[in-house]
Amino acid sequence: MAAELIAIEVAYADTQQQSVIQLSAPLAATVAEAINASGILSQFPDIDLAKQKVGIFSQLCSLDTVVSNGDRIEIYRPLAQDPMEARRGRLRK
């Protein structure tokens, strides 16, 4: 009997481009397995899953979270500037 597959997306954007990859994954796939299966790590070699956060539909999660049908996994890049510090700088002006 074939394993049941679910439809998911893996999304990432850097300062130059963005990518959303649609793929099918096994029913019990984790976020890490889905990211690896998507091929996005070869498309964006600067991604470091040991340092960068991931989420599903803007909700932070861990790499061992099991994905569900229709999920969009997002890989977040580090912020260039702390938002609170940027706000303080604008207020000082």
pLDDT along the chain (93 residues), means of 10: 85 92 95 97 94 96 97 89 72 74
Phi then psi for 45, rounded to 5 degrees? -65, -10
pLDDT of residue 83: 67
Pick 5-76's CATH classification: 3.10.20.30, 3.40.50.620, 3.90.420.10, 3.40.50.1000: 3.10.20.30
- Measured CA to CA, the distance from residue 47 to residue 26 in angstroms comes to 23
Instruction: Give whole-number Cα distances, 71 to 6, 25, 68, in Å.
Output: 9, 11, 6
Model pTM score: 0.82
Q: How far is CA 67 from the centre of its chain?
A: 12
What are the extents of the domains in the chain? 5-76
